[in-house]
């Protein structure tokens, strides 16, 4: 079983319910959720003229390969009503693979670790709550260190 970390966000509809529903759908798809962060209301990143987000992170275990896991996340997003729109725009739900064990993956469709996680407080803050000592497989920094660097 691989240990994975998934970032979850929503800024449309009942944002907290959307995040909870996504977690339940992950469980229904064989993802064993082990830890769940609190929810954090955050400013939009990229496209500023949109509602605030609710963000959180989970730690889970899976026997799915990274590409298969990505397919599950995309199916859940579609099932919950996410539609293609402006990059970094409004969304009912956003599910991102942040880390997958200590794997480094670079394909046209998938990058692990998430390529922007070290730049985003809305990712690092909830992740630091559940996995402060987890190390980024490329930089070697802990989640706690990356989060502290953003605040400087």
Active centre residues (catalytic): 82, 91, 94, 96
The answer to whether 131 touches 51, Cβ cutoff 8 Å, is: no
Q: What is the CA radius of gyration of the chain?
A: 14
67 φ, ψ (degrees, to nearest 5): -65, -40
Beta strands 32-36 and 40-42 are unpaired
- Report d(CA 112, CA 51) in Å as an integer: 28
- Report d(CA 92, CA 102) in Å as an integer: 29
């Amino acid at each position: 079983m691989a240990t994975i970390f998934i970032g979850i966000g929503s800024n449309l509809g009942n944002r907290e319910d959307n995040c909870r529903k996504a977690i339940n759908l992950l469980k229904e798809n064989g993802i064993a959720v082990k830890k769940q962060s609190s929810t954090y209301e955050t400013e939009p990143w990229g496209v500023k003229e949109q509602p605030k987000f609710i963000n959180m992170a989970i730690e889970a275990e899976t026997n799915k390969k990274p590409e298969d896991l990505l397919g599950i996340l995309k199916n859940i997003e579609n099932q919950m009503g996410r539609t293609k729109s402006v990059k970094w725009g409004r969304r009912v739900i956003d599910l991102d693979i942040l880390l997958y064990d200590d794997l480094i993956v670079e394909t046209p469709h998938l990058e692990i670790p998430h390529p922007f996680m070290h730049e985003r407080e809305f990712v690092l803050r909830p992740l630091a709550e559940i996995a402060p000592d987890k190390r980024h497989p490329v930089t070697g920094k802990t989640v706690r260190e990356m989060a502290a660097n953003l605040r400087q």
